[in-house]
Structure 1
Amino acid sequence: MSFCDAIWEEVTPLRRAILDHPFLAELADGTLPSESFQHYIMQDSLYLAEYARVLAIAAARAPSGAGRLEFSDGAKVAVQVEESLHQSYFAQFGVTIGMADASEATPVCLGYTSYLASLAATRSYEELIAGILPCFWVYWEVGCDIKPRAASPNPYASWIDTYAAPAFGEATDRVRALVDEAAADASATTRTAMAQAFRMATRYEWMFWDSAYKRAGWPI
């Protein structure tokens, strides 16, 4: 069994908790309060800005041309998605320029992006890309899970379509292949660290949606 298949199976309970989260259940049936989605997209915009930087670092550290191309393309796409949030979702869900400019990362958003940045700055390339992968793979699974059962019409249809799109699945597969390639050449100690990075990032994925559902901010 490949590294990715093994760690994906290991985190099955966490993946199930993500798919069962009320944020995604209500998003699928179109009943998610717009205020919760508004919170989510503002935080996602802040997340993507930092995720793009992490992807760019992964591209710079990649030992192969395939890795450099994939992660540099991913960084570009993350920036483009961030910009599209401002142009489409922000307008659709009533996020003004002033609101966007005044927003700051919540504890969960800051924790997630800071964790990825710490991998990029202080850990191995292998750990870094293992921590990057859940943002691709979890969203692909969520998109594929929600798409067949989503209500129609649905105010969140375009979001669902983005992450259920075959092109997004293909990008996920390419990143998985890079992670498996890195794991195959890594020591047992490095593979253990890779698994921990994957688990930690997957936990943050659940926490990100939970924080948005509760519209959580700083407690003080």
Structure 2
Amino acid sequence: MFIQGFQEEVMDLWQATLNHPFVRGLASGALEREMFHYYLLQDDYYLAHFVKVIEKSASQAKDEEIAAEMRQVLVRLKQSELLMREQFYPRVGLAEHDFATRKTAPTAYHYTSHLYRMADIGSFGVTVAALFPCYALYADMGKMYQNKKSSEPFYQELMDSYLDENYQKVVLQQKRLVEQAAKEADEQERMMMKQAFQISVEMEWEFFEMAYQKQNWRGSVDYV
């Protein structure tokens, strides 16, 4: 299994991400609400660009059936984003003004830049390998903390979403596509896929750390 091989070299970081204080705070309910709001605002930025990279992967797919699968994922993700905007965000206390005045954090900017770079210089396999850690880590997070009950209902609602049957199916689908692409790739492309995957794992840890520290630019940079 190619993904297992990609993952084994960064397993310590994978586990550290699942055990990050931000994640543990979500699972227990002890996370500061301000950190949670910060995370949601940055995650909204990230997902808006994640969608664009999925669109790119659909255009890269040589097989029309695979391209159609990616377009279906795209539709579901856009529907999920809309539900978050219209229902979840207002309930947790975030308004349109918060998104309009959001300052993109360095890590959110760098992570999305990494995804775009992989999509631009790589193949379908490289692109989906870069995207996959986001799917898989959250799926593992849901499973790891499924027997815990967060004292904060909104946190629990988010954690439960990672155990949703439809979400788990998407993760398995994306895993299958990465495995298939790696199987068909030559050695150089597989090395690029592994690098894309492993950098994304690093960025997942950084994303939680970003939220935990409420990261900002040290200078006057204000990216959109």
**TM-score of Structure 1 vs Structure 2, range by shorter chain:** over 0.9
Kindly provide the amino acid, as one letter, of the partner of residue 204 in structure 1: M
Count of paired positions = 219
Kindly provide the amino acid, as one letter, of the partner of residue 71 in structure 1: M
Q: Percent identity?
A: 28
| Structure 1 segments unaligned to the other structure (5+ residues) | none
| Separation of aligned partners in 2, 1:188 and 1:150 | 45
**Change over 3 Å in CA distance of 1:197–1:41 after alignment to 2:** same
Specify the alignment match of 1:100 in structure 2: 99
| Separation of aligned partners in 1, 2:152 and 2:123 | 45
SS of 2:162 mapped into structure 1:
helix
Q: Is residue 49–residue 78 contact of structure 1 (8 Å, CA) maintained in 2? A: no
| Separation of aligned partners in 2, 1:3 and 1:79 | 29
Specify the alignment match of 1:132 in structure 2: 131
Aligned positions of 1:69-218 closer than 5 A: 69-151=68-150, 154-218=153-217
Kindly provide the amino acid, as one letter, of the partner of residue 164 in structure 1: L
Deviation at 1:152, TM superposition (A): 5.1
Q: Is residue 51–residue 78 contact of structure 1 (8 Å, CA) maintained in 2? A: no
Deviation at 1:77, TM superposition (A): 2.4
| Separation of aligned partners in 1, 2:151 and 2:213 | 25
Specify the alignment match of 1:21 in structure 2: 20
Q: Is residue 54–residue 116 contact of structure 1 (8 Å, CA) maintained in 2? A: yes
Specify the alignment match of 1:65 in structure 2: 64
Specify the alignment match of 1:40 in structure 2: 39
| Separation of aligned partners in 2, 1:199 and 1:32 | 27
Bigger shift: residues 82-91 or 186-195: 82-91
Deviation at 1:166, TM superposition (A): 2.1
| Separation of aligned partners in 2, 1:53 and 1:151 | 33
SS of 2:218 mapped into structure 1:
coil
Kindly provide the amino acid, as one letter, of the partner of residue 184 in structure 1: K
Q: Is residue 138–residue 162 contact of structure 2 (8 Å, CA) maintained in 1? A: yes
| Separation of aligned partners in 2, 1:150 and 1:7 | 32
**Change over 3 Å in CA distance of 1:200–1:93 after alignment to 2:** same
| Separation of aligned partners in 1, 2:214 and 2:152 | 25
| Separation of aligned partners in 2, 1:217 and 1:85 | 24
- Give me the TM-score of the superposition, normalised by structure 2: 0.92
| Structure 2 segments unaligned to the other structure (5+ residues) | 220-224
Deviation at 1:153, TM superposition (A): 5.9
Deviation at 1:122, TM superposition (A): 2.0
- Give CA deviations for 1:142-194 in whole Å, capped at 9, x if unaligned: 11112222335633121011111122111111111111111111111111111
Kindly provide the amino acid, as one letter, of the partner of residue 59 in structure 1: A
| Separation of aligned partners in 2, 1:143 and 1:88 | 21
| Separation of aligned partners in 2, 1:217 and 1:90 | 22
- Give me the TM-score of the superposition, normalised by structure 1: 0.94
Q: Is residue 139–residue 171 contact of structure 2 (8 Å, CA) maintained in 1? A: yes
Bigger shift: residues 79-88 or 113-122: 79-88
SS of 1:95 mapped into structure 2:
coil
- Give CA deviations for 1:61-90 in whole Å, capped at 9, x if unaligned: 112233212211222222222222222332
